[in-house]
């Protein structure tokens, strides 16, 4: 047997060195293609996650901006309610009602605290008054509002004390 001859593998029968080289290159290219495909899929997933996160942050910023604007409108509504006590005008009532419809369309609702136990999460006690029960809201000085789970403004209330 010639020492310079390579041993013949059963799979290599009838294949020249050039054929084996081409098959080796083809297998390397398949591995490289699979690697590029995996990298592409990871990059695509990363991009989709980034896009989703940017959209969520954008929506959060829009909501924060809307909430800030709504809080500014609440001061105007407070003044309209005070004016309505002294001025009984249909136009004034109509404007106030328009503001309330606007708040409702933005999912803003008044926090109901009157005749309920005082909860500092929803109300700020501005005065203590004598009453039949302890820690009961007996008067709302300034209304509180929420939008969904976000408290826009806590109510200012008077709380009873035995």
Judge if 21 and 79 occupy the same domain. Answer: yes
- DSSP designation for 7: P
Return the pLDDT at 8: 47
Whether the per-residue pLDDT at 76 is higher than 50: the answer is: yes
Q: Summarize pLDDT for 120-152 with one digit per residue, the tens.
A: 999 999 999 998 899 999 999 999 999 999 999
97 assigned to some structural domain: yes
The neighbouring-strand residues paired with 125 are 157
The neighbouring-strand residues paired with 153 are 145
Burial class (CB in 10 A: 0-12, 13-18, 19+), 108: buried
Judge if 37 and 95 occupy the same domain. Answer: yes
| Full residue range of the structural domain in which residue 60 is found | 17-106
Longest CA–CA span in the chain (Å) reads 120
Whether the per-residue pLDDT at 70 is higher than 70: the answer is: yes
Total-model pTM: 0.72
CA distance 114 to 158: 9
More confident residue, 4 or 158: 158
Whether the per-residue pLDDT at 1 is higher than 60: the answer is: no
Judge if 94 and 38 occupy the same domain. Answer: yes
3 assigned to some structural domain: no
Look at residues 106, 121, 141 and tell me which one is the last residue of a structural domain: 106
Tokens 């109510």: give the residue. Answer: 155
> Which DSSP string corresponds to 92-106?
HHHHHHHHHHHHHHT
How far from the centroid of its chain's Cα atoms is residue 66's Cα?
Answer: 13
Q: How many domains does the chain have?
A: 2
Mean pLDDT of the chain: 91
Return the pLDDT at 15: 73
pLDDT-above-70 percentage for the chain:
91
Q: Summarize pLDDT for 14-42 with one digit per residue, the tens.
A: 678 888 999 999 999 999 999 999 999 99
């Amino acid at each position: 047997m010639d020492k310079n001859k390579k041993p013949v593998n059963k799979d290599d029968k009838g294949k020249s060195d050039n054929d084996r080289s081409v098959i080796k290159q083809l297998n390397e290219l398949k591995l490289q293609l699979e690697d590029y495909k995996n990298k592409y899929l990871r990059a695509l997933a990363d991009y989709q996650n980034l896009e989703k996160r940017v959209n969520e942050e954008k929506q959060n910023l829009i909501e924060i901006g809307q909430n800030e604007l709504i809080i500014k409108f609440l001061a105007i509504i407070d003044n309209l309610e005070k004016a309505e006590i002294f001025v009984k005008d249909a136009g004034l009532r109509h404007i106030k009602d328009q503001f309330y419809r606007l708040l409702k369309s933005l999912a803003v609702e008044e926090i109901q605290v009157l005749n309920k136990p005082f909860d500092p999460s929803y109300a700020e006690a501005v005065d203590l008054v004598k009453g039949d029960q302890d820690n009961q809201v007996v008067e709302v000085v300034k209304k509180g509002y929420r939008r969904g789970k976000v408290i826009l403004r806590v109510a200012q209330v008077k709380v009873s004390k035995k």
